[in-house]
């Protein structure tokens, strides 16, 4: 009805209206355009999503475009090399192979690929490793720049009448989020300020991210992820600006305000302490209580907390109860054990890290 050679089908996932028509049109287009695949050749696939999974490491969801992907295959995916150790279908069931048009989850990557990368099964393993290393090195070289900057300094530089470029290193909890955020931020560019996302990845902010920011005039933005301890110390030492967010519009608003010189007073987090979950107890009328050891600093009863699993934030809120030997405690110090319940959150697991922090209001520094 719209003209051209792209068919349109009215469908509703809720009522299932038009689903059969859609499938018929897909088959018709495939037949008319002679869309075929050879299941007997080495697989070629496209990365749809990538994430870090606790216990399984880097995991990617791909759709096979041609050939057949099998457990045991070696592959090259962008700048990442790997071997398929396990495949899971769209219902989470393990499978031994995946043919054309089949989406599967792959376990066995050495690092996280980018969304949209092409996965290619290879036979020459040594050559594939060399290609992966070469691509990674070229990507790092392309990201190098001259000096560092912070959001507070940006408006002062603009007043000098120069066209500025704001480089951003973006880390998120999943690949799809990183891709959407990178595209959203780059669309904020104006005639005076060009925003360039030089690196967008998945997982905790690391020392290598800080080193790249230090060398490339970049600020680091973490979305639902945190810097690890060494990265935080390195960032403070090198004065690299790290911004942490959990809501997209708050992130874009902060960037916009910095660009027009309207950056308002911000709240800086002040780290108080860190505890590691050792055991989990289920208590009637109370719920899940985490048996913890404070490994750093102090955990105050009235502080805000976040729960990290593999350095990814899975909960942010407050402490519902804090006890020492069945007695209520106002704080628990390093080396001490405690029982902790989190307000409105029950999914606590051994090995989780609970960080305590307070927020302090800080006026922005617009001078250089």
State the CB neighbour count (10 A cutoff) for residue 341: 19
As a whole number of angstroms, the distance between CA 322 and CA 342 comes to 9
Report pTM.
Answer: 0.48
Residue by residue, pLDDT tens for the chain (368 residues) are 566 778 889 999 889 899 999 999 988 888 888 888 899 999 999 999 888 887 788 899 999 999 999 999 999 988 888 899 999 999 999 999 999 999 999 999 988 888 888 999 988 888 878 887 887 777 666 655 444 455 555 555 555 555 467 888 999 888 788 888 888 888 888 776 778 888 888 888 988 889 888 887 788 999 988 888 888 888 888 888 888 888 888 888 888 877 766 445 567 788 999 999 999 998 887 789 999 999 999 999 999 999 999 888 899 999 999 999 888 899 999 999 999 999 989 999 999 999 999 888 765 543 32
pLDDT at 283: 86
- Residues in the chain, total: 368
As a whole number of angstroms, the distance between CA 3 and CA 304 comes to 57
CA triple 103-107-110, angle to 5 deg: 125
pLDDT at 119: 92
CATH number of 269-361: 2.40.30.10
Residue whose token pair is 């043919």: 99
pLDDT at 307: 94
pLDDT at 365: 45
The answer to whether 202 touches 312, Cβ cutoff 8 Å, is: no
Pick the CATH number of 44-141 from 3.40.50.1000, 3.40.50.720, 2.60.40.290, 2.40.30.10: 2.40.30.10
CATH number of 151-264: 3.40.50.10050
Q: Which of 311, 269, 267, 144 is nearest to 216 (CA)?
A: 144
What token pair was written down for 147? 């000096």
Residue whose token pair is 């959001």: 151
Identical fold for domains 151-264 and 269-361, yes or no, is: no
Cβ density class 99-132: b for 16+ within 10 Å, e for less: ebebbbbbbbbebbbbbebebbbbeeeeebeebb
**Per-domain boundaries in the chain:** 1-35, 44-141, 151-264, 269-361
């Amino acid at each position: 009805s719209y003209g051209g050679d792209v068919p349109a089908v009215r469908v509703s996932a809720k009522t299932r209206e038009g689903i059969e028509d859609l499938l018929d049109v897909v088959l018709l287009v495939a037949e008319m355009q002679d869309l075929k695949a050879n299941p007997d050749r080495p697989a070629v696939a496209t990365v749809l999503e990538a994430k870090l999974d606790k216990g399984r490491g880097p995991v990617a969801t791909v759709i096979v475009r041609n050939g057949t992907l099998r457990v045991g295959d070696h592959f090259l995916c962008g700048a990442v090399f790997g071997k398929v150790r396990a495949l899971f279908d769209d219902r989470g069931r393990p499978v031994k192979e995946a043919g054309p048009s089949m989406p599967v989850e792959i376990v066995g990557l050495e690092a996280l690929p980018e969304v949209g990368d092409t996965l290619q099964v290879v036979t020459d393993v040594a050559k594939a490793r060399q290609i992966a290393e070469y691509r990674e090195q070229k990507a790092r070289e392309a990201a190098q720049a001259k000096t560092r900057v912070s959001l507070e300094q940006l408006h002062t530089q603009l007043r000098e009448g120069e066209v500025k470029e704001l480089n951003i290193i973006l880390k998120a909890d999943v690949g799809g989020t990183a891709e959407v955020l990178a595209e959203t931020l780059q669309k904020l560019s104006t005639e005076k300020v060009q925003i360039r996302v030089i690196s967008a990845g998945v997982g905790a902010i690391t020392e290598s991210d800080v080193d790249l920011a230090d060398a490339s005039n970049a600020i680091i933005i973490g979305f639902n992820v945190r810097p690890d301890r060494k990265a935080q110390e390195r960032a403070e030492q090198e004065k690299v600006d790290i911004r942490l967010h959990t809501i997209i519009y708050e992130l874009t608003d902060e960037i916009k305000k910095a660009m027009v010189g309207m950056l308002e007073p911000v709240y800086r987090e002040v780290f108080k302490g860190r505890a590691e979950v050792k055991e989990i107890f289920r208590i009637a009328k109370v719920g899940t209580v985490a048996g913890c050891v404070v490994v750093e600093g102090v955990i105050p009863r009235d502080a805000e907390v976040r729960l990290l699993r593999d350095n990814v934030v899975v909960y942010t809120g407050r402490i519902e109860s804090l006890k020492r030997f069945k007695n209520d405690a106002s704080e628990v110090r390093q080396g001490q054990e405690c029982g902790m319940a989190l307000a409105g959150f029950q999914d606590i697991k051994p090995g989780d890290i609970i960080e305590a922090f307070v927020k302090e209001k800080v006026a922005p520094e617009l001078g250089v």
